[in-house]
Amino acid sequence: MKWRVIGLETHDAYFNMALDEAISESVRVGSSPPTIRFYNWEPNAVSIGYFQGIRDEVNLEVCRELGVDCIRRWTGGGAVYHDFDGEITYSVIAPAGTFPKNIIESYGIICGWLVKGLESLGIEAEFRPVNDILVKGKKISGSAQTRRGGILLQHGTLLYGLDLKTMFSVLNVSRQKITDKMIKSAEERVTCISEHSDASKEEVYEALVNAFTEGKDYEFGASSIDENKRARELSQEKYRSDEWMYLR
Amino acid sequence: MIAYSSQKVKEGKIVKVEAQFDNVITKLKISGDFFLHPEEVLDDIEKTMLDLKRDVSFETLVLKIQNIIKNYDAQMIGISPESLALVIRETLK
């Protein structure tokens, strides 16, 4: 099986999530190979899990003030603040049969690629089921998976830097006031690459590519014209729509 | 009457339930940071709760959720039928 690797791209939240879905569709019908992609979010964005309520999780007023996009993902899990400078996001899209039926085991395989990438940067990391990667007991990466129409889509983020103040201002964190104590508490639970390594973001990206492709037959490629067209449709008609945004 | 409950359940994720009811449940919305495959199963779980009596037992709720999970061969991650039933029961108090 030959994989397609789509190198680091930057899109807005709506196109990023729409492209994951468009690629899932094309992998399902066999017009595209299994795909690994890496991407940034610009503008910065908050994504919420499929089952979350956007009003519960996101301070929409602050997002508007800061120009932060808000989007509901196709996958479950929690709310995530995507900072352009502070993270790299990946997606793995392949026939579900490529991975174990057991969802935790499949998280373990893909998160294992991230762990290897971190190790190559000299950062000792561990997979913590369900969907986290920890460094010295602190979360550095979270992932979310869905399986629809026989296709597995897993996407996740790897934190490069931390901007906790903005993160807490855009997320409704238990509706508590943002306090120094709260930020200190988060610092004790969350970490990022820059706290453990001098590697540049480019070097981190290269480490991820090497780890994700190790032992695989692959080639670099781009999303197809059809995938881009479908992603633009989904971006406009689904991911930007109020119906989708306020689904729960 | 509209009631709302939110709990971090023992399997690790947050479950929020909003229910509208008088003697029977007329509306129920479940949200949270859990995983459920396939995702559409949650709509069926919500629908199944409609018209149940407000004092429906925990055991009945568990059974109804379990049946849907079984019918779809669904997988819940970070929640369980029991923990979801517990939050629904709490909301209906």
Report the CATH superfamily, name and number, of domain A2-245.
Bira Bifunctional Protein; Domain 2 (3.30.930.10)
Residue A178: the pLDDT is: 59
Mean pLDDT computed over every residue of chain B? 96
Domain spanning B2-91: CATH superfamily:
CO dehydrogenase flavoprotein, C-terminal domain (3.30.390.50)
Residue A122: Cβ-neighbour burial (10 angstroms; 0-12, 13-18, 19+)? exposed
Share of chain B above pLDDT 90, in %: 98
- 3-state SS string for A189-242: CECCHHHCCCCCHHHHHHHHHHHHHCCCEEEECCCCHHHHHHHHHHHHHHHCCH
A53 contacts B35? CB cut-off 8 A: no
Q: Give dist(CA A25, CA A149) in Å, integer.
A: 8
pLDDT of residue A186: 78
The more confident residue out of A184 and B73 is B73
Domain boundaries, chain A: 2-245
DSSP secondary structure code for residue A173 in this structure:
S
d(CA A212, CA A49): 24
The answer to whether residue B75 neighbours chain A at the CB level (below 8 Å) is yes
The shortest C-alpha distance from B2 to chain A (Å) reads 16
- Give the pLDDT of residue A111: 98
Query: How do B25-32 and B14-21 pair as beta strands?
Result: antiparallel
Provide the pLDDT for residue A176.
44
Half-sphere exposure of A106 (CA within 13 A, CB side): 23
Specify the pLDDT at position B63. Answer: 97
Give the model's pLDDT for residue A246: 95
| pLDDT tens track for B11-21 | 999 999 999 99
Contact A51 B33 (CB under 8 A): yes
Q: Which residue of A has its CA nearest to B34?
A: A77
Q: What is the ipTM of this complex?
A: 0.95
CA distance A75 to A14: 14
Question: What tokens appear for A202 in the block?
Answer: 């480019």
Q: What is the pLDDT of residues A48-82, one digit of tens each?
A: 999 999 999 999 999 999 999 999 999 999 999 99
Amino acid found at B60: T
Task: Give residue A174's pLDDT.
Answer: 55
Mark the ranges of chain A whose per-residue pLDDT is less than 50.
Answer: 175-176
Residues of chain A in Cβ contact (below 8 Å) with chain B: 49-53, 56, 75-79, 103-104, 130-131, 144-148, 248
What is the distance between the alpha carbons of residues B27 and B2, in angstroms, rounded to a whole number? 9
